[in-house]
A and B are shown apart, each in its own frame.
Chain A
Amino acid sequence: MSSRLVTEIAGLKLANPTMLAAGILGSSGSFLRRIAEAGAGAVVTKSVGLKPRIGYPNPTVVQVDCGLLNAIGLSSPGIHNFGEEIREAKKGGVPVIVSIYGFSPEDFAEVARMAVEEGADALELNVSCPHVEKTGSEIGQNPRSVAEVVKKVKNKVDKPVFVKLTPNVADIIEVAEAAVKAGADAVTAINTVRAMTVDIETTRPVLANKIGGLSGPAIKPVAVRCVYEIYRRVDVPVVGCGGIATWRDAVEFMLAGASAVQIGTAVAFEGLEVFKSIAEGIEAYLERMGFGSVKEIVGLSHQH
């Protein structure tokens, strides 16, 4: 891959703008390494909290038309047991961004401190999980709570802090601005859209938790709109996430304002080669359109 694809986000240098999205295959350090070796420019771990958490019973993941529905429930071994995974993941040679969650700003700050101690290159604050009470989007729907979490974390660590936003709000810009004002170095948009499915033969909600989050192609236009709106209003990089499966999707997000893109659900349908194929596709596009660097296309749609 050429230098055309090299980019930088909040001080992190990426060989290409594709990243593994949080919550996808990110609980094992060895597997994160494999994803790095498969061509991802950076990897985000599965969200880790302060204490071990089992998550919900199965079914936790259901395939629906144009996407996946999940309510895994923030299962995590806890940051105390996650150090070796971070260290193993770092052997992949790309930035390792540790996604963290907490039930209070203090929780976030403590998990952040330990994650950095274990080698995290950056943190992504999960204030957007749509299916666990007292954390995730319950924090992320309130700009003041988001600001408080970001401030507490920024006071504790000197690594870049990404804030992953929920689309399940009336005004995502307001939350993004609060995060940036509180010191966020980048924002990721978007987490899953709160959703559910009912099995008509048995009349039951399929997910054990009944309600979960929708990812995949179905949410892409929602995510593109969020990136577009946020890009206009904040002066930190925006990372696009939501239904990216091809290089065309990735370019679309970048034109809307994303400096990099996160890929999750597509890993299930396209395999691990998806990172490499998207990066190569972006490169061919840049060449065809006469751009010298991927940075040149970020936000280009705003000219119109």
Chain B
Amino acid sequence: MRIQRIREENPTVKTLIFHDKHCAEAKPGQFVMVWILGVDEVPMSLSSINSDGLSSITVAEVGEATQALHQIKVGDVLGIRGPYGNGFTLVGGKVMIVGGGTGLAPLLPLAKSLRRFSAKISFLAGAKTRDELFFLERIKKAVSKVNVTTEDGSYGLKGLVTDLAEQILEKEEFDMIYACGPEKMMLKMFLLAEQYHTPFQASLERYMRCGIGICGSCCIGEYRICKDGPVFSGRQLRKVKKEFGLFKREADGSKVSF
């Protein structure tokens, strides 16, 4: 797959745009396995899905593989297989979308798709600092109600996005809460959804190898992130309470705490 365009979202996040007919038909929340030649192969959520065939991944520079993705130039080749996984289940009514850090990536195509269901969307975006935020303009174009928090107060409200979500949930009822971000944040949102008896979906991430449900690297309890997920409902997450938000498996299969 040849990279057609690259957009710098902020100092640490880039969007790589490519043309793929399978991805054009993906659901928001689905992911692709991205082969960075000679380096690694990693799972990445699709950050845009367009019927004209242009799709993208949005990458923060966090490790060896993502550093290599940041070196990619227009015209370079990446291997893409997928899309894989289940994606978000779309609903109408009043929904809350909560994104933290790079978790925003799959939430923009989600918000765009939800408009087709005439969903009334309240979008909450959180980051540590202003420089880590991205997609805001496009989210604002897609959604009427957007709230932004930063932990250092450099943009929007100062504080955690989950605290803001809690304040809103105290006053308003929602038909669905969608979340994607650091797992601790998603755990907090899950607990809030439970507390306020609100249906919930979160997109999880794990070390992944095959992407097709066979190697077992990405297991959480009885589920595989790649095949049963990456999006899980509140009901499913209740079954993996002993793992969700607490620990994940490394490449050797051992458990490490978040």
Binding site for B on A (CB under 8 A): 23-28, 30-31, 33-34, 46, 52-55, 57-61, 63, 68, 70, 72, 75-78, 81, 199, 201-202, 204, 206, 208, 264-265, 267-268
CB pair A268–B214 under 8 Å, yes or no, is yes
Question: When the two chains form their complex, are residues B37 and A204 in contact, meaning their CB atoms are under 8 A apart?
Answer: yes
The answer to whether B219 touches A75, judged by C-beta atoms less than 8 angstroms apart, is no
Contact in complex: B209, A27 (CB < 8 Å): no
Given A54-B252, A201-B77, is A265 in contact with B37 using a C-beta cutoff of 8 Å? no
The reply to whether B224 and A72 contact each other, CB–CB distance below 8 Å, is: no
CB distance from A203 to the nearest CB of B (A): 10
Residues of B within 8 A of A46 (CB): 216, 253
Task: Collect the chain A residues with CB atoms within 8 Å of residue B35's CB.
Answer: 58-59, 206
B213: CB under 8 A from chain A?
Answer: yes
Q: List 5 A-B contacts (CB under 8 A).
A: A28-B221, A53-B252, A57-B40, A61-B209, A81-B254
Partner of B215, one of A25, A30, A202, A206: A25
- Interface residues in chain B, defined as those with a beta carbon under 8 Å from any beta carbon in chain A: 33, 35, 37-42, 77, 79, 81, 209-217, 219, 221-224, 249-255
Q: How far is the CB of B77 from chain A (nearest CB, A)?
A: 6
* Contact of A58 with B249 at beta-carbon distance under 8 Å, contacts A27-B217, A204-B38 already known: no
Q: Given A76-B252, A81-B254, are A202 and B209 neighbors across the interface (CB < 8 Å)?
A: no
Question: In whole Å, how far is A50's beta carbon from the nearest beta carbon of chain B?
Answer: 13
A206 partner residues in chain B, CB cutoff 8 A: 35, 79
Cβ contacts under 8 Å, B33 to chain A: 58-59
Which residues of B sit under 8 angstroms from A68, Cβ to Cβ?
A: 210, 214
A75–B212 CB distance below 8 A: no
A77: contacting residue among B79, B212, B254, CB under 8 A: B254
Shortest B79–chain A CB gap in Å is 7
The SS class assigned to the A binding surface is: loop
A208: chain B residues at CB < 8 Å are 40-41
- Output the least CB separation between A93 and chain B (Å): 15
Q: Inside 8 A of B42's CB, which chain A residues have their CB? A: 58
Among candidates A34, A60, A75, A265, residue contacting B252 with C-beta atoms closer than 8 Å: A75
- Expressed in whole angstroms, the Cα–Cα distance for A72 and B33 within the complex equals 16
CB-CB under 8 A from B250, the residues of chain A are 54, 77
Does B253 lie within 8 Å of A76, measured CB to CB? yes
Most buried by A among B81, B210, B223, B249: B210
- Which B residue's beta carbon lies closest to that of A27? B253
Q: Is the CB of A77 within 8 A of B253?
A: yes
Give Cα A199 to B214, complex, Å: 22
Cβ contacts under 8 Å, B252 to chain A: 52-55, 75-78
The distance from the CB of B19 to the nearest CB of chain A, in whole angstroms, is: 15
| Beta-carbon contact of B214 and A58 below 8 Å | no
B38: A residues at CB distance < 8 A:
204
Chain A nearest CB from B171 CB (Å) reads 38
Contact A72 B213 (CB under 8 A): no
Q: Do A267 and B213 have beta carbons less than 8 Å apart?
A: yes
Minimum CB–CB distance for B39 against chain A, Å: 8
Which residues of B sit under 8 angstroms from A33, Cβ to Cβ? 222
B210 and A31 within 8 A (CB): no
Residue of chain A at shortest CB distance from B211: A61
In the complex, the chain A residue whose C-beta lies closest to that of B209 is A60
Q: Which residues of A contact B209 (CB under 8 A)?
A: 58, 60-61, 72
Q: Which of B37, B213, B253 contacts A202 (CB 8 A)?
A: B37
Most buried by A among B214, B253, B254: B253
Asked whether, in the complex, the Cβ of A24 is within 8 Å of the Cβ of B215, the reply is yes
Q: Give bound CA distance, A60 to B210, whole Å.
A: 7
> Min CB distance, A230 to chain B, in Å?
26
Establish whether residues B253 and A199, one from each chain, have CB atoms under 8 Å apart when the complex forms: no
> How far apart are the CA atoms of A268 and B222 in the complex, in Å?
16
A25-B224, A27-B219, A34-B222 as given contacts; A61 in contact with B79, CB under 8 Å: no
Q: Which residues of B contact A27 (CB under 8 A)?
A: 216-217, 219, 249, 253
The minimal Cβ–Cβ distance linking B66 to chain A, given in whole angstroms, is 13
Distance in angstroms between the alpha carbons of A81 and B249 in the assembled complex: 12
- Nearest to B43 among chain A residues (CB) is A58
Q: Which residues of B contact A75 (CB under 8 A)?
A: 217, 251-253
* Bound complex: CA A63 to CA B81 (Å): 10
Would B214 and A265 count as touching, CB distance under 8 A? yes
Cβ-defined contact, A24 with B37, below 8 A? no
A27 and B249 alpha carbons, distance in the complex (Å): 10
The one of B37, B40, B215, B249 that contacts A61, using a Cβ cutoff of 8 Å: B215
Structural contact, B219 and A31, CB atoms closer than 8 A = yes
C-alpha gap A77/B216 in the complex (Å):
13
> B142 → chain A, closest Cβ, in Å?
33
Contact call A25/B254, Cβ cutoff below 8 A? no
A222 to B38, CA, bound (A): 32
* Chain A residues within an 8 Å CB radius of B223: 31
Residues of B within 8 Å of A55, CB to CB, are 251-252
Contact at B214–A202, with CB atoms within 8 Å? no
For the complex formed, measure the closest distance between the CB of B28 and the CB atoms of chain A, giving whole angstroms: 23
**With a CB–CB cut-off of 8 A, which chain B residues contact A24?**
214-216
Q: How far apart are B122's CB and chain A's nearest CB, in angstroms?
A: 35
